[in-house]
Amino acid sequence: MQTSYSFSNIKFSELKKIVPLEKGSSQTKFEEWFSLPYHLTDEEIYFLQDHLDFHKDLVPYYSEENLKVKFIAVILNKIRFANKKINDFYDASLTAVVNGVELNGFADYMVAKGTDEPEQPYFFLQEFKPSQVGKKVDDQLFAELVAAIALNETNVIRGCYIIGQNWYFVIMEKDQNNNYFAHISKQFDSLEIEDLLQIYKNLQIVKLHYCQ
Mean pLDDT (whole number) for 46-68: 94
Per-residue pLDDT, averaged over 202-207, amounts to 96
Contact between 162 and 72 under an 8 Å Cβ cutoff? The reply is yes
Q: What is the pLDDT of residues 114-154, one digit of tens each?
A: 888 889 999 999 986 554 445 588 999 999 999 999 999 99
Mean pLDDT of the chain: 92
What's the half-sphere exposure (Cβ side, CA atoms, 13 Å) at 108? 25
Return the pLDDT at 127.
84
Nearest to 204 by CA among 76, 27, 52: 76
Q: How many angstroms separate the CA atoms of 126 and 68, rounded?
A: 10
Q: Residue 157's closest CA among 103, 107, 115, 111?
A: 111
For 10, half-sphere exposure in the C-beta direction (CA atoms, 13 angstrom radius) is 27
Query: What is the identity of the amino acid at 74?
Result: V
Residue type at position 162: I
Where is 181: in which H helix or E strand? strand 180-184
- Per cent of the chain over pLDDT 90 is 82
Look at residue 12 in the predicted model and tell me its pLDDT. Answer: 93
Neighbouring-strand partners of residue 88: 111
Cα separation, 23 vs 189, in Å, equals 21
pLDDT of res. 129: 55
pLDDT(2) > 80: no
DSSP letter for each residue of 53-89 = HHHTTTGGG--HHHIIIIIIHHHHHHH----SSEEEE
Across residues 51-65, what is the average pLDDT? 93
pLDDT for the residue numbered 131: 46
